[in-house]
Amino acid sequence: MRTPTTIAALAAVALLAAGCGRSGGGNEEPTQGAAPKQAVSADFGDLKDVCGPGSPAKAPAQGVTKDAIDVGVFSDVGFTKNPELLDAAKVFTSWCNELGGVKGRKLVPNIRDTKMMEVRQRMLESCKQDFALVGGSAALDAMGTKDRLSCLLPDFPAQQSMVTNNGSDLQLAQTGGVSYNRYQGYWSWLLKEAYPGSKGSVGIISGDSPVTKGLGGQAQESLRALGGKISYSDLYPAQGVSDWTPYAQSIKSKGVKGLIFYGDFTSLAKLEQILTGINYKLDWIDANNNAYLPQFIKLAGPSLKAQNNFADLSGLHPLETASDSPATKKVQELYKRYASGANVTSVALRSFSAWLLFAKSAGTCGDDLTRKCVYEAARKETAWTAGGLQAPIDLSKNDVPLDCFNVEKATPDGWKPADFKPNNGPYRCGAPKYKYTGNYGKPLTLADVGKSMNDLK
């Protein structure tokens, strides 16, 4: 998934809020669902007895009593009005708690609404109350990383954003190592197999903020390693563009055949409408997984017949083929049960994966539930799939490349799996790996705040 860095102006914040994996709109509170009517299973895909009863008697750590576990859920919902992370927290904890909690301890999700700019304030609050952070995300997450490490707070995020937070210590990420290009397999397929004629003329357009500029630099390095030639690179104002015609004409004049777009899908849809209107068709457009939503299909409209839009889900099982995945189907069923009317999004699935990892790991600790125990248990997962929600990823190391990818194509009838020659169910595994050589910043470590793993209790 796309992982933005930082921004300095409110206009750039608005771009980031729309373009770093968040989707849809909604109210600030999770959608309320109908009351459960029948018993639920404690199994989740191929994970057995994720939650259930127990008789804990100890209060071994901050945020842990014999009855409950306090966890922090970060969200920019006060700014974005997008409740997808809150909905995921509500659905998962409702399901888990109905079954008895984690070995008898109920999960208490404390929503930490950053309102975009108040990440540090919420982190300081979480440091005083929560046992861990689970299933959340904040666009400006690095504003709280130093404090999180200082208070030794484990993090099981739905997604990460800024460089100093992405891959930082005590973090269990599901999206691959920060030193590696997460899209090397995907871009290799585009340039070498699907559209080899596009290799000599690739374009990149980004919103004008450090968020997307950093991603653009990494993309250029990776594409050149694949033999691609960058024929066009441009920025657009983060606050938006009133007329995309000059950008479309420039793309046409440069003869761009493949375009990577870093920004919000609303802007991309407008750009594509202009490109189609001036009768210019690219071989492919990397719409990125921000656009993996019904909203993009509606906004792009007729241009989807002229332009080939793709998105790499980085090994996340597609929603439109949920019937092929018991785990993905289970998420949809749980949403109907606990949050009827709420949308299941790719970010929600990532959040569910984080919740499952936390619950499974915490369950192995039994009565002696400590931060050290839950973190070390999660680190033992060498092929984590969240019960089948995603392709396997090795969590035993903090910086590993993704091995599997899967590509979606936008059609007038919705998103559908592209013909990318999967070799492992819905995924293509054994993808080429690329480690960056450029300097794009580094994630924070415990040593940066004067701590070490010996301090984790």
CA–CA distance from 306 to each of 201, 279, 285 (Å)? 19, 9, 11
Reported as a pLDDT band with limits 50, 70 and 90, residue 274 is very high
The pLDDT of residue 39 is above 70: no
Phi, psi at residue 233, to the nearest 5°? -145, 125
Percentage of the chain with pLDDT > 70?
Answer: 91
Give the model confidence (pLDDT) of 391-421 as tens digits: 999 999 889 999 999 999 999 999 999 999 9
Beta-carbon contacts of residue 246 (< 8 Å; ≥ 6 apart): none
DSSP-assigned states of every residue in 120-144: HHHHHHHHHH-SEEES---TTGGGG
Do residues 282 and 304 touch, judged by C-beta distance below 8 A? no
Beta-carbon contacts of residue 123 (< 8 Å; ≥ 6 apart): 112, 143, 144, 147, 148, 153
Q: What is the pLDDT of residue 317?
A: 97
Reported as a pLDDT band with limits 50, 70 and 90, residue 38 is low
Q: Is 46 exposed, middle or buried (0-12, 13-18, 19+ CB in 10 A)?
A: exposed
Q: Is the pTM of this model over 0.85?
A: yes
Percentage of the chain with pLDDT > 90?
Answer: 84
The pLDDT of residue 30 is above 60: no
Reported as a pLDDT band with limits 50, 70 and 90, residue 207 is confident
The pLDDT of residue 7 is above 80: no
Give the model confidence (pLDDT) of 286-315 as tens digits: 999 989 999 999 999 999 999 999 999 999
The pLDDT of residue 8 is above 60: no
The pLDDT of residue 25 is above 50: no
Return the DSSP state at 287.
-
What is the distance of C-alpha 359 from the center of its chain? 19
Reported as a pLDDT band with limits 50, 70 and 90, residue 19 is very low
Give the model confidence (pLDDT) of 310-329 as tens digits: 999 999 999 999 999 999 99
Q: What is the pLDDT of residue 175?
A: 83
Q: What is the mean pLDDT of residues 80-107?
A: 97
- DSSP lists the bridge partners of residue 136 as none
Reported as a pLDDT band with limits 50, 70 and 90, residue 197 is very high
The pLDDT of residue 443 is above 90: yes
Q: Output 232 or 441, whichever has higher pLDDT.
A: 232
Reported as a pLDDT band with limits 50, 70 and 90, residue 5 is very low
Query: Quick one: CA torsion of 420, 189, 344, 22, rounded to 10 degrees?
Result: -160
What is the distance of C-alpha 394 from the center of its chain? 17
Which element (helix H / strand E) includes 234? strand 230-236
Q: What is the pLDDT of residue 414?
A: 97
DSSP-assigned states of every residue in 59-115: --BTTB-SSEEEEEEEE-HHHH---HHHHHHHHHHHHHHHTTSBTTBEEEEEEEE-T
Q: What is the pLDDT of residue 145?
A: 98
Largest CA distance in the chain: 71
The rounded distance, in Å, linking the Cα atoms of 426 and 244 is: 36
CA–CA distance from 270 to each of 204, 244, 261, 287, 306 (Å)? 16, 7, 12, 12, 14
**Segment among 22-36, 289-303, 363-377 with least mean pLDDT:** 22-36
Q: What is the pLDDT of residue 212?
A: 67
Q: Is 174 exposed, middle or buried (0-12, 13-18, 19+ CB in 10 A)?
A: buried
**Mean pLDDT, the chain, integer:** 91
Q: What is the pLDDT of residue 148?
A: 98
Q: What is the pLDDT of residue 15?
A: 44
Do residues 356 and 348 touch, judged by C-beta distance below 8 A? no
Which element (helix H / strand E) includes 429? strand 428-429
Do residues 165 and 186 touch, judged by C-beta distance below 8 A? no
Give the model confidence (pLDDT) of 160-171 as tens digits: 988 899 999 999
The pLDDT of residue 425 is above 50: yes
- DSSP lists the bridge partners of residue 204 as 233, 260
Q: What is the mean pLDDT of residues 75-79?
A: 97
Q: Which of 239, 181, 201 is nearest to 17 (CA)?
A: 239
Give the model confidence (pLDDT) of 371-380 as tens digits: 999 999 999 9
Phi, psi at residue 75, to the nearest 5°? -160, 150
258-262 and 202-207 beta bridge pairing: parallel
**Segment among 88-92, 94-98, 436-440 with least mean pLDDT:** 436-440
The structural domains of the chain, ordered by start, are: 10-179+345-381+442-455 (3.40.50.2300), 184-317+401-429 (3.40.50.2300)
CB atoms within 10 A of CB 221: 15
The pLDDT of residue 143 is above 50: yes
Reported as a pLDDT band with limits 50, 70 and 90, residue 238 is confident
